[in-house]
Amino acid sequence: MPDKLPLSVFIIALNEADRIGPVITAVRDWVDEIVVVDSGSTDGTQDVARSLGAHVIHHDWPGYGPQKRFAEEQCRHDWLLNLDADEVPAPELEAAIRALFADGRMPAHQAYRIRTVMVLPHQRRPHRFAPRHNYIRLYDRRHGRFANSTTHDAVEMHSGSVRALAPIIMHYSIRSHSDLINKLNRYSTAQADEIVSRGKGRRYGALRSVTEFPINLFRYFFLKGYWVFGLYGLELAAIIAFFRFARIAKVREILQRTS
């Protein structure tokens, strides 16, 4: 068996017992360390992760960015691969990352973008034209860290260069409509609180309230590619667009309550 790479994978989790197993299984044979930071699961997520060889740490939820920054600090390697608990790397990703570390050398660049591609609950592999994002997921923490934002979890590079890797990460983000609605309700509340705390609430006026839903329905269904899923994609786009509107309604409610 090839040697494991000097690389730490970190995952933040809360009640992901039904999804985290395939994520850990996909990387445990070729990375030196897997760190799972759990914020209080009650479904046995911790036991599943430990049984697959992950190091599990409890840390109360401080927000997306701060939780990932905490996870970064728990890793023993400077080179990190971040995965969410619903993201499974394609098998080809191992070879692509091994090539970066070939012959004992370190990667030529300090960060690498990897495309995450949406996979629906009834699919085993992503649709050819499925919606996708291109984020920094593999990086040297000495050159970049996750932003300290409670609602936005993106790596910010302060030095070094960034390149892209061809293999994908399959994103099984949708359990059900109900689960998505509950998730986006919590997320839009956190977004509204952050917007107001940063003094940006006045940007969300009446005109934005009227236009937010139709603009985002069009944006997600046509521009972001949810049309490839047919009626199911329209339903997803409508749910997401509604909570973009709900974020504004919650901002305005906070401002009215505190004025």
Arithmetic mean of pLDDT, 2-8: 94
Residues 166 and 132 in one domain: yes
pLDDT of residue 1: 59
CB 114, CB 128: distance < 8 Å: no
Residues 163 and 226 in one domain: no
Residues 28 and 123 in one domain: yes
Q: Which residue has the higher pLDDT, 259 or 44?
A: 44
Residues 20 and 70 in one domain: yes
Query: pLDDT tens digit string along 45-90?
Result: 999 999 999 999 999 999 999 999 999 999 999 999 999 999 999 9
Which residue, of 171, 196, 214, is where some domain finishes?
A: 171
Residue identified by tokens 């970049």 is: 144
61-95 burial: b if 16+ Cβ within 10 Å, else e: eebbbbbbbbbbeebebebbbbbbbbbbbbeebbe
Residues 212 and 136 in one domain: no
DSSP string, 71-110: HHHH-SSSEEEE--TTEEE-THHHHHHHHHTGGGPPPSSS
Residues 83 and 111 in one domain: yes
Arithmetic mean of pLDDT, 6-30: 99
Which residue, of 152, 171, 190, is where some domain finishes?
A: 171
pLDDT of residue 6: 98
Residues 127 and 220 in one domain: no
Query: pLDDT tens digit string along 128-163?
Result: 999 999 999 999 999 999 999 999 889 999 999 999
Residues 223 and 141 in one domain: no
Spatial separation of the C-alpha atoms in residues 138 and 12, rounded to whole Å: 16
| pTM, 2 dp | 0.94
Query: pLDDT tens digit string along 95-130?
Result: 999 999 999 999 999 999 999 999 999 898 899 999
pLDDT of residue 240: 99
Spatial separation of the C-alpha atoms in residues 220 and 245, rounded to whole Å: 13
Q: For helices 230-258 and 206-218, what crossing angle results, to 10°?
A: 160
CB 240, CB 184: distance < 8 Å: yes
Residues 223 and 110 in one domain: no
How many distinct structural domains can be found in the chain? 2
Query: What residue numbers bound the domain in which 80 lies?
Result: 5-171
Neighbours of 249 (CB within 10 A): 15
Which residue, of 128, 143, 171, is where some domain finishes?
A: 171
Spatial separation of the C-alpha atoms in residues 5 and 12, rounded to whole Å: 21
Residues 116 and 213 in one domain: no
